[in-house]
Structure 1
């Protein structure tokens, strides 16, 4: 199953910058394990946030990762949505 997570960040940019190394280390571990497929922030014209794509057995597993992410535990994430995603077209599809 592929699960899309959308983060919306708080306005506290200083806290975000402070916690980012721990957040990226946490996500790097999930990527190295093959669970995190892609992750990155939205562009500068979009509201502050990010999109993360995971491979998981179920949404509860992804929710547990979101709950453990330093961005969430330290208060950088104002809201997160966790949604099953069913990709059907595109050049990345074979890799999923």
Structure 2
């Protein structure tokens, strides 16, 4: 398994994001329980406009497929997703 860092860039629709957030967090909670999602959370300095998700997967398409069911994505609240292989050099996270 490879570790991946995914950045979500959210739509500037705070009320809709707030309305869907509980379902979004439940979805991410299930990914965490399954071991696919290691950690996630928003970047506070972006005013809630971006978040970082750390996942394990075979490749980037595997990771994005795991995130395709995110209610934020379903509702059109994710404008862009960036995915990068993440090479953990110092320290450890998940299975890295």
Q: TM-score, normalised by structure 1?
A: 0.89
Report if the CA contact (8 A) 2:10-2:78 is conserved: yes
Q: Which residue of 1 aligns with 2:52?
A: 51
- What residue ranges of structure 1 are gaps of 5+ in the alignment? none
Deviation at residue 46 of structure 1 after TM alignment: 2.0
CA gap of 1:37–1:94, structure 2 versus 1, over 3 A, is closer
Which deviates more from structure 2 when the two are superposed, residues 57-66 or residues 1-10?
Answer: 57-66
What does 1:18-57 align with in structure 2 at a 5 Å threshold?
18-43=19-44, 45-46=45-46, 48-57=49-58
Partner SS for 1:68? coil
Q: Which residue of 1 aligns with 2:15?
A: 14
Count of residues paired in the alignment: 93
Deviation at residue 94 of structure 1 after TM alignment: 5.8
Report if the CA contact (8 A) 2:38-2:93 is conserved: no
Q: How far does the alpha carbon of each residue in 1:19-74 deviate from its partner, in whole angstroms, 9 at most, with x for none? A: 1111111110110011100000111x325110000011221111112222111111
| Superposed CA RMSD | 1.4
Partner SS for 1:88? coil
Which deviates more from structure 2 when the two are superposed, residues 58-67 or residues 31-40?
Answer: 58-67
Runs of 4+ in 1 over 4 A off after TM superposition: none
